[in-house]
Structure 1
């Protein structure tokens, strides 16, 4: 099941790397605080992100188990949504503005990380549709390796981002982040196309 794990890992990295509220939160913390505080903040974001990913994955799975016909709908809508996200990333300029205030007590950091992760309706919708679509394509026994790969991406990405931002400091710029977004956009579009191909194969054999 290593290929399934790697699929979850690569999808997770491509989905997390584009600069959004979570990444801005981690970057701003790393640029503003000591290495230890930056890493602690990234671990909090990892916890909330993994809990969201697992919830979306299991929730979509429960729906498809209850209503098997949802698999084709999830594949179709999920594939279109993933391609739409990828195109948006390619066309959008990254910005370092918009992160939450990180100069606050650590308990408030925990609460703020929860807000930027769980109280983002778009993240809930995108996560459920995307993970639901991929779950519909997994072979028997592939659920656990896939979600382990996807959640491992969260641990690897956010901690690496915190370390790199803390060490590089002012060298982090919007041009680099924009090209990172575009690279991730291309990868995500390829994944979306795969979902639609799987749907066509499911319908037409």
Structure 2
């Protein structure tokens, strides 16, 4: 079984790398031209609520459901709110040393200032890393106990689709001592992973803005062995 982290490393952000990525953000990252060998070790297409990695349910004004092949999270009420959910089981085995998590998310209803994204390396409410997409911007943050620390502050990206009912693919990879972050197949940030050894457990977060109701849906979740 993969080890649950009781603390997170202090990540060293490669500022030069991030700046270079932003400077060349109009061109898609094509890599070295060689095909990478990837193996999907887990995939949830959200076609069965009973077996979904994120279980349906209600918590306060937040409702989670599995509907028409999507995981759907709706948060009602006029006030701003944050809701997180995550898996209770691991998607990677101990032998999976190089890992990637990928989701396709869609902002269905709400306000332009709503935000949502992928959670990973979740131990519990107090130990989380998050990759969020909002109003044509993204950020990466780490929560340790009650303190949130930006690893990458809110940063504009032309790769984000910002209109309602447009989908964004988010992907995080952990390999060769680095964490790399992708939006719609474009790498937007990279940083040293330190002692982090797994992306488990994985989750989803919605930050509701001023709308009376905010809804996001997730088409699928993939766990990939690189």
TM-score range, shorter chain: under 0.3
Q: Going by fraction, where is helix more abundant, 1 or 2?
A: 1
Higher relative contact order (CA 8 A, sep 6+): 1
Give the TM-score, by structure 1 length. 0.23
Q: Going by fraction, where is strand more abundant, 1 or 2?
A: 2
